[in-house]
Amino acid sequence: MKKTILCAMLLAIASNSFCQQIKPTQSLIQEDYLTKSKKQKTIAWVLLGGGAAFIIAGAIIPEGELTDRYSLPYGTEEHKNDGIKSAFFITGGISALGSIPLFIISGRNKRKGMTTTVSFNNQRVAFPQQNAFVSRTQPTLTLKIEL
């Protein structure tokens, strides 16, 4: 019975102890956040500029020949290039609207990058020595990330 309890306790302690990680998580530092922010902002500007170009191209495309005339109360007409024009407008609008979240995320990453600090400190640590604990200073590297 004692062996079973001892084995169970040993297994419980071993499973809760700190072990080597299978996939080590690497924390981002200030340069990483700022680089990520710059890339996201560039992509956002490209999307916004491309969307504006598509909208302008949709406005410049000529209407083309008249293909149908509806006798609805408001009298609508359908031209040959209406499908192409509307596709350019819709694509441009979606592209321009898609740039907004990227601008927001870019600003958030820039703020994180600006608040991330790395510093060296001396921390007091209790070390066991013979039958007592002795307080000593140990140099530490501190990485502070504001979330």
Q: Would you say residue 16 lies in a domain?
A: no
Q: What is the mean pLDDT of the chain?
A: 82
- DSSP 8-state assignment for residue 74: T
- CB of 116 closer than 8 Å to CB of 147: no
Q: Would you say residue 94 lies in a domain?
A: yes
Q: Which of 20, 37, 16, 88 is nearest to 58 (CA)?
A: 88
Provide the residue range defining the domain that includes 78.
27-121+139-147
Q: How many CB atoms lie within 10 A of CB 20?
A: 5
pLDDT, position 15: 64
Residues of the chain with pLDDT under 50: none
pLDDT, position 108: 92
pLDDT, position 53: 96
pLDDT, position 18: 57
Q: Would you say residue 93 lies in a domain?
A: yes
Q: What share of the chain is helix, strand, coil (3-state, %, to 5)?
A: 55, 20, 25
Instruction: Record the pTM.
Output: 0.59
pLDDT, position 107: 94
Q: Would you say residue 106 lies in a domain?
A: yes
